[in-house]
């Protein structure tokens, strides 16, 4: 069930991003298991992508996780507030990562509502990368954790979206990345209510 490490070692981060739609993401934090299936992702293509933290081989205490071998979590803080969860792919020294922007919750929904302080369930509970991380209890403690462990992992449960239900577009919030901001590196399930921005 758990997706094997070899899945994450491929060099084409863009195709892996698309393939991740429909895969299940779970966390077990404080003894509570929460998760759901992925409905929105974005690819960050290593040292040649201006929108990537690792552009131009930038290596800092924060980004060094991206340079490690694929199959681990990259969690960082953005705008001083939000934790973002990424899946690192490719081999050692190739800093590629996939941002998980939205999931459709299936397990532990009550626990997510508590974490999000949302007594009435709304689609925004896991729409957007900051929301996904909070709902799943993801924090920087998880940074560089293996996805083969029992804290955070992915599963293939046979759910698969046909191409005509998958949409592609430019990434969100990366206007500063000049021409790379236009790259079609964002993938999402058409019309899904948990997808963050435009979902048509």
Partner DNA sequence: TCGTCGATCTACT
Partner DNA sequence: GTAGATCGACGAG
101 to 45, 54, 59, 195, 197: CA distances (angstroms): 16, 19, 24, 8, 10
Nearer to DNA, 78 or 193 (CB): 78
Least Å from the CB of residue 82 to DNA: 5
Is-contact 41 32, C-beta < 8 A? no
Closer by beta carbon to DNA, 61 or else 158: 61
Q: How far is the CB of 125 from DNA (least distance, A)?
A: 8
Beta carbon nearer to DNA, 150 or 182: 182
Pick the closer one to DNA by CB: 2 or 50. 50
Applying CB under 7 A, the residues found at the interface with DNA are: 42, 44, 51-54, 58, 60-63, 66, 74, 76-82, 84, 86, 97, 99, 116, 124, 127-131, 171-174, 176-177, 196
The residues with which 153 forms a beta bridge, in sequence order, are 26
**Is the CB of 99 or the CB of 157 nearer to DNA?**
99
Cβ atoms of 156 and 10 within 8 Å: the answer is no
> What's the rounded Cα separation, in Å, for the pair 120 and 161?
29
CB 81 → DNA: shortest distance, Å?
A: 4
State in angstroms the smallest separation of the CB of 13 from DNA. 11
- By the 10 Å C-beta count (0-12 exposed, 13-18 middle, 19+ buried), 167 is classed as buried
CB of 11 to DNA, least distance (A): 17
Residue in the structure block whose two tokens are 């009435």: 120
Question: Which of 197, 199, 200, 189 has the alpha carbon at shortest distance from 38?
Answer: 189
């Amino acid at each position: 069930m758990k997706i094997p490490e070899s899945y994450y070692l491929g060099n084409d981060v863009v195709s892996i991003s698309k393939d991740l739609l429909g895969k299940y993401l779970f966390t077990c934090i404080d003894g509570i298991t929460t998760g759901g299936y992925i409905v929105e992702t974005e690819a960050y293509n290593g040292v040649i992508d201006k929108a990537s933290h690792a552009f131009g081989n930038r290596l800092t205490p924060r980004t060094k996780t991206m340079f490690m071998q694929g199959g681990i979590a990259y969690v960082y803080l953005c705008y001083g507030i939000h934790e973002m969860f990424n899946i690192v792919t490719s081999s050692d020294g190739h800093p590629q990562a996939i941002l998980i922007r939205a999931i459709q919750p299936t397990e532990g929904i009550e626990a997510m509502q508590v974490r999000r302080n949302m007594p009435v369930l709304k689609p925004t509970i896991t729409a957007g990368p900051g929301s996904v991380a909070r709902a799943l209890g993801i924090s920087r403690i998880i940074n560089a954790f293996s996805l083969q462990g029992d804290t955070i992992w992915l599963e293939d449960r046979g759910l698969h979206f046909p191409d005509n239900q998958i949409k592609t577009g430019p990434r969100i919030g990366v206007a500063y990345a000049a021409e790379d901001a236009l790259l079609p590196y964002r993938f999402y399930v058409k019309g899904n209510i948990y997808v963050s921005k435009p979902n048509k």
